[in-house]
Every structure is written in C-alpha cells, then in structure tokens.
Amino acid sequence: MVKWNGERLNIDGEDIQILSGSIHYFRTFPEQWEDRLIKLKNMGFNTVETYCCWNLHEPREGTFVFERMLDLGAFLDTAARLGLYAMVRPGPYICGEWDFGGLPAWLLKDENALLRSNDEYYFSRAEKYIEQIMKIIAPRMQTNGGNVILLAAENEYGSFSNSHKYMNRCARLLEKYGADIPIFTSDGHTPMMLCGGTAEGALPGLDFGYGNGILPEYTAALKNISADYPVFHIEHWIGGLTHWGKQPQKYSSESVGREISQQLEKGYHFNLYMFCGGTNFGFMNGANSFPYEKNGRTEYDYCPDVTSYELDGALTECGDLTPKYYAIKNAVERFTGKKLPESRNSEKQNIGRVTLTKSAALFENLGNIGEKFSDEFPRNMEHYGQNYGYILYRCRIEQGQEIARLSLKDVNDRATVYFNGEKIGIISRNDDIKHIELGKTAENGGTLDILAENQGRINYGPDMLRGDRKGICGYVYITDRVGVRQILSDWEIYTLPMNNLERLNYGTAQSYPTFFKGDFSAEKGKDCFVHLKNFTKGFVTVNGFNIGRYWNIGPQLSLYIPWPLLKENNEITVFEEENAAEPIIEITDKHILNGCNKYKNAEVVM
C-alpha cells in the first residue's frame, strides 16, 4: 500500500523520502537504460521518473507501438530489478520540450479540435491511449507487486487553463483503468498555476529550481492551499533549455549541490529534471513561444529546441558523469553518512574524416520519397496526413503577369522559396517581413517551389489549445506593380516525412537541397559524435535511424551517435537544405553543445 503520512511517503508501513531523477526511456536506447539507472542509484537516489510519449506510442490513430525505445514495460522492469521505485507521467500531455508536448499530430487533422480540454473529439482519443498505456503500467504498480508508486494526471495544466472539470476527469481516467496508487499533478509554484492545475484527491506537485536556492516563496502557495500537503518537488530544474541560435542556460554545480542539501534537510520529496536528458532523435524536438511587446502589441518569438536534450543535467547526453553529478552525490553522502558506489563513463571512439561519395537532389526524387497531392490552395501538412519533416508546395507562374512581390500568409515554420529551381529567399515564422521582392525574376513565368520545414511544434502554454499546424496555414499571394494582390491557386503538394530515404536515387546532384551518403567503419560498444563543419542546415541518419537536426547557427554543433546504432560497417546520410562547402564530415570522440556561428567560439564538451 502506498499512501502519504504527513511529510513522508509510506510504502507498506515504511516511511521514505523520494529522491528521484528523470530519465525518459524514449530519448535513450534500450541497451543504455541499465547504465543510466545504475548511475542514478549510485548517486544515492531511490526513484526514477519518466514521461510517456503519446505521439510515438500511437503514431497513427488506432495503431499502438510499445517496442524497442518505446518499451515502457521493459524500462520499468529494469528499474525494478535494480531496486528503484518509479514515478510515471503517462500524459496525455507531457510538455517535456517534446514535439507538441507528446500529443499526436494527427489530432490536428480536425480543424475544430480543442486540445487539453473536455472536447469529446480530443478526450475520447486521449482515453483510448490511456487505456492502452495503463495496461502496461497497472500490473507494475506497487499494489500489484511492482515498483510504480505514483502516477501523474496530465501535466502543468495551470500554465494552460483552469478547468477543474478537465483535471478531475484526467485523474478519474487513471483510476478507471486501474490506478490504486497516489495520483499527483505538476505545476509551477505560483498561486495562479497551482489553483488552475490541481485535481480532486491528487497531490499537488511543484516545479521550480533556478540555481538560487530553495526559497520560502516557492512553497508558500502550496501551504496556503493546505498546510497538510507535503512538499513534492516534482521538477527540480538543475539546468536550462537550449534553443537554436541562443546560448544554453546553465546553473552551477555548487548551487545545485546546495539546493539538494536544503531539500534533504527539510524532508522534501524531489525529482531532478533532468538526471539524464538524452536526445530528441528524429524530428521530435519541441518549441517554445515567448511573448514580447513590440509597438504596443504582444508578439511571439517562436524558439525551436535543439536536438540534444542534455539540459546541463547530472549526466551528459551520452550518460557521462558531470561535476553536477558529483555535487549531488556528495550532498547525499553527507546527509546519509554513507559512502556510495562509483560509476564509469562510456567508451568513445575517434573515427576521423568521412567523405560522402554519393548525392541525390531532393527535387529529382520527389516522386520517390514524397506522396503527391493536388489542391486549389495549399494547406497545412496535417491536412494531408503528414506529421513531421518537410512539405513542398509547387505551382506555375504565368508569363507576363508583372509580379513585383511574392508573399506568404502564415507559414510554419521556415520556408525556402525557389523559382525555376533557383533559391530566391527564405521566409521564417519570426520574420517581420514575410515577402520576397521578385524584380525581373518571374517575368518569363516558370515553376514556383516552396519547401516548408516543420521545426518542432510548440509544447507549452495556451498555444496548445488549437495546436501548432505546420506548412502553409494561410495562403500564398502575389502583388503587382500597383499594389493589387492575388492569391496563387492550383498547387501540387509533396509530403516529405523523410522516413523512406532508402528509395532515393543517387547520382551526382547539381542543386540543393541534397542528400549526401557515405560509409564508415566503427568499433562496437563505443559512442561518437558527428561534426558538420562544412554543412549549413538539415538532419542526419545513421544506418537508417534519424539522429536529429543540425544547424550551423549553434549552439549545438555536433550530433550524438549512440553505440547501439553502430556496426562494423555503417552508412550515414546527411540532408543539406542550403549549401555544403565540401561533402566531408568528421566523426570524433568530442561533443560541442555550446558553440555558435559556424564553430566560432565553440567550446568542446567531453
């Protein structure tokens, strides 16, 4: 039996203090789970916490996947075998800086869907997912002889809305499918967030941690709700987010060590976010939308997350021990008076330069890797049944139209525009100016191509209500020399999820965007990192697995290649959107997560 007893959690008559760390099973290869969990235990912690990702577990409506990196049951069983309790946050919404906060993009095919709400279209589908994932969690609950001691209802709802009807419904949904252990919620520590996000009968969890100590105001709102609630610090942030083009947020090891000591002494229950962050493989990174004032109006800055989810945690992206790990471990040893076991870093390998000998132009392979649609006007990618990747819009410009300007109305997130195969400009979501001056470019007519990239859906805050659709969400229009506007119609659309690259025809590409492919040898059991100094922007696959996006604006300048991906002989593919100085990459034993501007001022992270 699991129950709360004052400040302590009581399990079968024994009081414990939760010392937990977050590890997301879907951000790490299964072969690496045990290594990360042992390091958590060797740090003196007794619990692992994880989110669950609805979008990958149900990639298409009604099709559920729980294999390999998505084998939640195997992850929980590994933790149990090592003597660790588990806290599970099944969702349906999780945030996690994960694409769309874990919600599946196919929900957005319904233009009227209201997400994270009592809307029956949304909630009925969320219930089907919860029913399936609870089939894995329920048998592993402590009351059934397992190690799962706590379950979360939704997540950070107080940062979105304040419907107690919805939150109560989420809590009751878990109970409907077998939950007989304590249910908790998770919200920021302010009164507004706590009042909005709580659920009847659920323990309110708090999110805070800014590297400046555990301050009284962080728990004041909780005690105002009820003095009997224990402090359950479900997200103790020990590092900050990293967005493309912005330097990472960092909290010092010393400050985190002090915060751990404070919580141990106060008897707080807490969870490190993150203990080991892992990687946003593929196109799974999320994005934030930050409000700012401009000319008396509120505007929003769209900020997609980088591929790495290291978050300056206790372990690096590849699971290595950091000074922060030792600061936390030392605090636990001082508090308990016990010497804890040691852990080891993973082995690395330095492979060197690899020449990519084959190339395939995207525009010459649209029919091979893209599904073609025809439409009077362009629509968002979700309308065409696409969730991730890129989408190409193509139409014909007639001769003699005297077009002065081409404009895009509502494009998400970044569109590269081509005319007769030549790049003429880029229009991004954050740009103030969303048009291209054509001059004489189109006077003889020709083919207009717009390649739009989904850079990651917004995963947090009120923008979740109607969702973050991708591609062209409005329309494309031209303007003549006297200022008259006209919408362009009659389009060909190619959906490009980039999950079928084995169908590419390679030759000698003469234009961009281009796929480059090469081979390299590697030792088994050793991690490495691929550096793309000669490239600009795109993504990389190794042996058919998408290891994530790269972009030379930084701060991340290399991509992690986990050892379970590698064989003696390996194939690597680089999709380059814009330009490559030469088709050569470098695979080394060093990682760069805090560089910028084409490797200038880059600092190597071991």
- Say whether the peptide bond before residue 513 is cis (omega within 30 degrees of 0): yes
Nearest alpha-carbon partner for 196 in 186, 208, 182, 207: 186
Nearest alpha-carbon partner for 514 in 576, 437, 602: 576
Token pair for residue 72?
């939640």
Q: Which residue has the tokens 């659709």?
A: 469
CA angle 307, 308, 310 (to 5 degrees): 160
Residue 275 CB coordination number (10 Å)? 26
How far from 565 is each of 65, 75, 521, 541, 569, CA to CA, in Å?
20, 19, 12, 10, 11
Rounded Cα distance between 29 and 25, Å, is: 7
Nearest alpha-carbon partner for 171 in 189, 157, 161: 157
Do 194 and 187 form a contact (C-beta atoms < 8 A)? Answer: yes
Do 259 and 271 form a contact (C-beta atoms < 8 A)? Answer: no
Do 12 and 52 form a contact (C-beta atoms < 8 A)? Answer: no
Nearest alpha-carbon partner for 450 in 434, 427, 473, 480: 427
Q: Is the dihedral of CA 54, 98, 538, 574 positive or negative?
A: negative
**Gyration radius from the chain CA atoms:** 25
Q: Which residues contact 169 (CB under 8 A, 6 or more apart)?
A: 118, 123
By annotation, the residues acting in catalysis are 156, 235
